[in-house]
A and B are shown apart, each in its own frame.
Chain A
Amino acid sequence: MKRLLGIALALLLAAVVAVALYLGNGGGEPVVVRGVIGSEKEPFFNDPRVRAAFEKHGLRVEVETAGSRQIAVGSDLDGYAFAFPSSLPAAEKIRKDRKVARVYSPFHSPMAVATFEPIVRVLAGAGLVRDSGQGHQLLDIAAYLDLVAEGARWDRLPGNTAYPARKRVLLTTTDVRTSNSAAMYLAMTSYVANGDDVVDSAAQVPRLAEKLAPVFLDQGYSQASSEAPFQDYLVMGSGKTPMVVIYEAQYLSRLFSGDGSITSDMRLLYPAPTVLSKHTLVPLGEHGERVGRLLTEDPELRALAVRHGFRTADPKSFTDLVAAHRAPVARNLVDVVEPPAYEHLDRLIAGIERLYAGGAAPRTEGGS
């Protein structure tokens, strides 16, 4: 009897240890894991369902947001368990700098444009928007760049009575100096401006930087991180942000949640060509490693990522959700180009940065 009890106790103890190991934290309070992420993933990490899913594995994930380029080159990453920028090139840069063995790309999202029905009609009239024939609409980047080069204004577009604003026709982006979504936009526009070719030499950079700088500079002040202009789009509407470059996931996440923030006059366009943004997690420690692995492998977290509009390794769950919401989403994107290698993209950004600085000498001692 005594001996049986002893065996039972031993078994029980073993079970407790196993559970504790599984939970990773002795079964008590979850371990706080801190990461720095691109702002567009903040709604995902703050989703109570996502937090609960991590807590099941003994992790409480706390995130701070920053522009992806800022994460890659500017931020002090000490004290973070992982960095989660929005593109592979930015992640690669961190991986090299921090000598990290393995990175995780649990989901990706093509770049898209969020706009409004009246604007789409105006753009279609100007020959910029066309139907893909597959349920989604395309924004012709080459035609758009021509329009920008002409300095076109909304109120001077022929036949435009829907949006007679005395503003340049310009896609709103984030600040290309800090943020990945703007860099991805630069990737697609540079491809077109380079004669439909990926920028692959330093010699191409100065001319392209000069040509593309107005696309960014003429917007005036741009925000640092991708969620901000999209929030402006949702909250302040076409007055502030008639059309904004976003990750497809930002729009779909709102649409799938059914929270009413995507109103009936809002539209999603796909730039042609577009680029894919591969959200890539760089672990900076053991707990960060686990976050990366869970996002890639845990079925619950993967399903939640799809609910947040991301495309994962499981395309079916994405297309099912799209079908259920009758979303005007591109199931197969054909016109997708590769972004330039990190060094070339960074050179392009640096070129545009110099043009920002062109008029930026602060006048500390003011005038007369």
Chain B
Amino acid sequence: MLRVLAGSEVADLEPLLGQSGVKVRLTYAGTLDGAEQVASGGADGRYDAVWFSSNRYLSLIDGARARLSTETPTMVSPVLLGLRTAKAAELGWADGRATWEEIATAARDGRFTFGMTNPASSNSGFSALVGVAAGLSGADGALTAEQVAVVTPRLKEFFAAQKLTSGSSGWLAEAYARDGGVDGIVNYESVLLGMEGLTLVRPSDGVVTADYPLTLLASAPAEKKELYGRLAAWLRTPDTQRKIMTDTHRRPAVPGVRPGPEFGTEPLLELPFPNRRGTADGLITAYLDELRAPAHALFVLDTSGSMRGERIDALRKALVTLTGADRSASGTFSRFRSRETVTMIPFSGSVGETRSFTLPENAPQQVLADIRRYAEGLQASGGTAIYDGLRAAYPESLRTDPGHFTSIVLMTDGRNTDGASFEDFASLYRMIPQGRRARTFVVLFGESDAEEMTRVATLTGGAVFDARDGSLAEAFKEIRGYQ
């Protein structure tokens, strides 16, 4: 069996892989998180190959390239803007042609809104960020840190139109298809082509394209290398390439298979990608601290008696991780950021004291330390009034101005024992005006009632994260991509 550490973007190939004749096990990780695992050597021995939408960020990390062996591009998809057809026509882009300059100007003037993934969690958001930065900077070569600084004000205007965020390209597409709320999304061409009613805008001054390289790890043992060779060769056969094109709307990665008409006839200009990690990280930092709307993150935290011991310890640690204790790049990018408001709502048999922390634009260290102290002081005792906690969170969520990305995290390790019921919560939720209803992201832990927690996530358009067998800190880190 070939053990592959993969980005969630390739999950749609799993059914097809069954026909390859090679047994493959895909384990999913975020782009940045996965890149760090490979670069640090953490993937060696546990995986034989990696398969992300791009190796570019990974290759910028010191020492990472030496851990990689053969790279086989398997398919191709640029990151584009998909807009409701009527909106695209209104903006004069019915033919799908616009420059980044035109797109940014329309965004600044409030003429459309869009959703995009968090560039620190997902390659599509990162590619779009590089694309729009390169496009707006007027740079004719690779972006430099200086150019990023210069283009920041223009980027701010563009991102003022971003009203939806996500930790993954797949969830972004689902959330948009289900809830709308924005005029379009930035995503892989392949995802956008699989959706209804969109006009694909292909920026004529350039895009950033994913080529999904199936990459052998240099550490893989000989028998796995052979499996890799067979899988890679099979993926590039004309038959497989045609199937990938038909099933997943990705462009073929071999010259022998001609792309279908859905990809348009205009050649896509590829923007140069930064060749220094400092530039890439600087862009992500600028996005988090300056460009994007600040987050209002509410944490509804179970501190009931059943949390006593290891569990409350894990919760404390998970929150401390988000205050900057995790010094890795993915840890740094997922910590609480400048301009963000963090609200803690502990509950047991009833709702405890709500505390809010707002990180200033500069020098957030003091407030991060306050949050750390707060987290370390959490104590567990009493019953489990889940919905009282949630019912307290929603009014709190309305306290920040609507310019924030507001979301709620609900972490509980058991069933509701006290106070309000799910129905009570649902009726309160429906009283909130649409457009101001925060999504609730649920973390399953201990003996969580998975079914009812899923109802909470479904009702609010959130998602469920399962930390029952894994680490609570990892689940919290992952959720940060959605905040």
Contact = CB atoms under 8 A, between A and B. Distances in A.
Contacts of B60: 221
Contacts of B410: none
In this complex, the member of B141, B205, B277, B288 whose beta carbon has the largest number of chain A beta carbons within 10 angstroms is B141
Interface stretch (A14-22, A63-71, A136-144, A245-253): A63-71
A350 to B, nearest CB: 16
Interface in B232-265: 233, 251-256
Interface in B42-99: 56, 59-62, 65-66, 68-71, 73, 76
A315 interface: no
Contacts of A165: 206, 269
A237 B267 contact: yes
Interface string B126-161: 000000000000101111110000000000000000
Interface string B378-389: 000000000000
Nearest to B221: A79
Contact of B278 (A237, A238, A360): A360
B268 interface: yes
In this complex, the member of A166, A223, A259, A356 whose beta carbon has the largest number of chain B beta carbons within 10 angstroms is A166
A217 B332 contact: no
A255 to B, nearest CB: 12
Interface string B183-210: 0000000000000000000000110010
Nearest to B281: A363
B276 interface: yes
B277 to A, nearest CB: 5
B141 A170 contact: yes
A368 B276 contact: no
The majority secondary structure among interface residues of chain A is: loop
A224 B284 contact: no
B366 interface: no
Nearest to B61: A362
Given A62-B226, A64-B70, A75-B218, A261 B140 contact: no
B267 A238 contact: yes
Nearest to B331: A364
**Size range of the chain B interface in the assembly:** 35 or more
A219 B275 contact: yes
A261 B255 CA distance: 5
A111 B218 CA distance: 28
Contacts of A66: 69-70
A361 B278 contact: yes
Contacts, number: 156
B59 A239 contact: no
B336 interface: no
Interface of A: 34, 39, 42, 46, 62, 64-66, 70, 74-76, 79, 151, 153, 165-168, 170, 178, 217-225, 228, 231-232, 234-241, 254, 259-261, 356, 359-368
B237 to A, nearest CB: 12
Interface in B272-307: 272-279, 281-282, 284-286, 288-289
A221 B65 CA distance: 13
Interface stretch (B11-19, B347-355, B356-364, B449-457): B356-364
B275 A220 contact: yes
A256 to B, nearest CB: 14
A368 B361 contact: yes
A70 B68 CA distance: 11
A166 B140 contact: yes
Contacts of B226: 62
Contact of B140 (A151, A223, A259, A361): A151
A240 B270 contact: yes
Nearest to A65: B70
Nearest to B65: A224
15 contacts: A34-B225, A62-B226, A62-B229, A65-B71, A218-B272, A219-B142, A220-B142, A220-B274, A235-B252, A236-B267, A236-B270, A261-B255, A359-B144, A362-B329, A366-B332
In this complex, the member of A178, A254, A363 whose beta carbon has the largest number of chain B beta carbons within 10 angstroms is A363
Contacts of B252: 235
Interface of B: 56, 59-62, 65-66, 68-71, 73, 76, 138, 140-145, 205-206, 209, 211, 216, 218, 222, 225-226, 229, 233, 251-256, 267-270, 272-279, 281-282, 284-286, 288-289, 324, 327-329, 332-333, 338, 361-364
Contacts of A221: 56, 59-60, 142, 272-275
B364 to A, nearest CB: 7
A240 B281 CA distance: 24
A243 B259 CA distance: 21
In this complex, the member of A42, A65, A236, A254 whose beta carbon has the largest number of chain B beta carbons within 10 angstroms is A236
B68 to A, nearest CB: 8
Contact of B275 (A42, A222, A361, A364): A222
A217 B275 contact: yes
Contacts of A34: 222, 225
A167 B225 CA distance: 39
A109 B262 CA distance: 39
A259 B255 contact: yes
Given A168-B140, A220-B274, 8 more contacts: A62-B229, A224-B68, A236-B267, A236-B268, A239-B268, A360-B276, A360-B277, A366-B289
A66 B138 CA distance: 35
Contacts of B69: 64-66
A232 B278 CA distance: 26
B319 to A, nearest CB: 19
B329 A364 contact: yes
Contacts of B233: 46
A366 B270 contact: no
B357 to A, nearest CB: 16
B278 A359 contact: yes
A235 B76 contact: yes
A178 B65 contact: yes
A235 B56 contact: no
B12 to A, nearest CB: 20
A239 B233 CA distance: 26
Give the top 7 A-B pairs by smallest Cβ distance, nearest first.
Answer: A220-B142, A220-B272, A366-B285, A261-B255, A240-B270, A221-B273, A239-B267
A236 B285 contact: no
A257 B131 CA distance: 37
B407 to A, nearest CB: 21
A238 to B, nearest CB: 6
A276 B386 CA distance: 73
